[in-house]
Amino acid sequence: MKHQPPPPPLPLSQPPSMGGAAAGGVASVISSMNGGSNSSVSGIEAVKCRPPIYPKPKTPSFDKDRDYIGFATLPEQVHRKSVKRGFEFTLMVVGESGLGKSTLINSLFLGDLYKNRQMPNVEERIEKTTKVEKKTMDIEERGVRLRLTVVDTPGFGDAINCEDSWRVCTQYIDEQFRQYFTDESGLNRRNIQDNRVHCCLYFVPPWGHSLRQMDLDLIRRLHRKVNIVLVIGKADCLNKQEVRKLKERILQDLEDNHIQLYQFPECDSDEDDDFKQQDRELKASIPFAVVGSNTILEVAGKKVRGRQYPWGVVNVEDPEHSDFIKLRTFLISTHMQDLKDTTQDVHYENFRAQCISQISQHALRERGKLKRDSISSTNGFDAAISETDRLLLQKDEEIRRMQDMLTQMQEKLKQTHLMEMKKNDSVIDV
């Protein structure tokens, strides 16, 4: 049978571009779980929510297209289902206070996740331990809903001893895996909420020469649990050459310490040249040197997100000034799904394998214990039985002896009685 190739499915949305305020793709913030309703960063107009656009699968015309089976619409069906269900993404931001983490997150997602934040004073910071703060917002763009959770770790690295900071981060990641594992093994698996951390943005300060010992220590503890993406914060403190050198030294440090951060997947050979070029540029920019800002400035009649200095404006979205747009493209437009897949297929699988091996080891230990218990209880039973038997035998012996005695006594009585009778007879005879 000859199959006519069906028409290719219509693209839902424009392919992501690397420029423009909404290039990262987040059009509107629907609500914030922290009490915020519709929120948008001052100066940036949130694009109005449009009703969801789901591509309708082409109804096959049975009469005309006799050779058309219809499974070419499968990608569209999957697409419609995923769009209806919505997406979840959890991002963890780790780094010392003041490195520009919250500013960057607000800039990335055009939201204001940190409006109620209270800055601790010096005394509080000395005593402070690392906390985990979770903020969630629902964002919608072209009918696609994304529930974004940002996990912040205020107080990270503020204490002299960083053990606490590391423990808090690793514990949080493990807890989410454990919760998912429990939910997955439960009865209601259809409505599992995925709170696993899909990506960890680790902020490196721009004022060091490379990674510090505490950075290496934390990254070493985390890199097998989560996709780590390194970010040099406040990159406007460095010139181009310094940024390049810092990046080189960081990459060298990682290699020397055998640390493998998130690995970008290989670009498919059938991708178009623009996409391949974009992929190359993204890979070459790691670690991303970023500048964040929540201020909208006017430069040459154009509104831009930037930082005003006496000598000029740093345009956050200008690729010549920072890797902000590249980071946003990577995180939101091109690699979000791959980050989720890697979390599921690599990090969660590792955790699951560990859990299953622990459970089976525990079960084996329990079985061994039960076996030992049953053996000892059987031995005890045997001992009890032999003791009873011994007692029974003793009693039997006793009874037998008593019976013998009785028989002897009866015999004696009989003898005595006979003798008496004989005696009486002889007296009568006389």
- How far, in Å, CA of 290 to CA of 18, rounded? 15
List b or e across 136-165, with b for residues whose CB sees 16 or more CB atoms inside 10 angstroms: bbebbbebbbbbbbbbbbbbbbbbeebebb
Stretch that binds ligand GDP, among 37-45, 95-103, 193-201, 296-304 (CB under 6 A): 95-103
**Which residue's CB comes closest to ligand GDP?**
100
Among 32, 39, 90, 102, binds ligand GDP (CB under 6 A): 102
- Nearest residue to 338 via CA among 415, 262, 390, 277: 262
x/- track of binding to ligand GDP for residues 208-247 (CB under 6 A): --------------------------x-x-----------
- Residue 231 makes CB contacts below 8 A (sequence gap 6+) with 95, 104, 201, 202, 203, 204, 287, 288, 289, 290, 327
Stretch that binds ligand GDP, among 26-34, 61-69, 97-105, 407-415 (CB under 6 A): 97-105
Interface with ligand GDP (CB under 6 A), residue total: 12
Q: Is 205 in the site for ligand GDP (CB under 6 A)?
A: no
Q: Is 103 in the site for ligand GDP (CB under 6 A)?
A: yes
Q: Token pair 């429990």 is at which residue?
A: 182
Q: Is 43 in the site for ligand GDP (CB under 6 A)?
A: no
Q: Is 291 in the site for ligand GDP (CB under 6 A)?
A: yes
Q: Is 97 in the site for ligand GDP (CB under 6 A)?
A: yes
Structure tokens at 48: 């109005």
Shortest Cβ 370–ligand GDP spacing (Å): 54
Among 292, 317, 332, 334, binds ligand GDP (CB under 6 A): 292
Shortest Cβ 287–ligand GDP spacing (Å): 14
Q: Is 321 in the site for ligand GDP (CB under 6 A)?
A: no
Structure tokens at 137: 């917002």
Q: Is 306 in the site for ligand GDP (CB under 6 A)?
A: no
Among 15, 98, 265, 368, binds ligand GDP (CB under 6 A): 98
Among 28, 32, 94, 101, binds ligand GDP (CB under 6 A): 101
Stretch that binds ligand GDP, among 99-107, 259-267, 339-347, 422-430 (CB under 6 A): 99-107
Nearer to ligand GDP, 234 or 326 (CB): 234
x/- track of binding to ligand GDP for residues 343-382 (CB under 6 A): ----------------------------------------
Shortest Cβ 154–ligand GDP spacing (Å): 7
Nearer to ligand GDP, 90 or 102 (CB): 102
Name the strands in the sheet holding 312-315, side by side, starting at the edge strand that comes first in the sequence.
296-299, 302-309, 312-315
Stretch that binds ligand GDP, among 35-43, 93-101, 120-128, 332-340 (CB under 6 A): 93-101
Nearer to ligand GDP, 108 or 144 (CB): 108
Pairing of strands 87-94, 144-152: parallel
Stretch that binds ligand GDP, among 58-66, 100-108, 174-182, 373-381 (CB under 6 A): 100-108
- How far, in Å, CA of 39 to CA of 42, rounded? 9
Q: Is 41 in the site for ligand GDP (CB under 6 A)?
A: no
Among 27, 83, 91, 99, binds ligand GDP (CB under 6 A): 99
Nearer to ligand GDP, 105 or 222 (CB): 105
Q: Interface residues with ligand GDP (CB under 6 A)?
A: 97-103, 234, 236, 291-292, 307
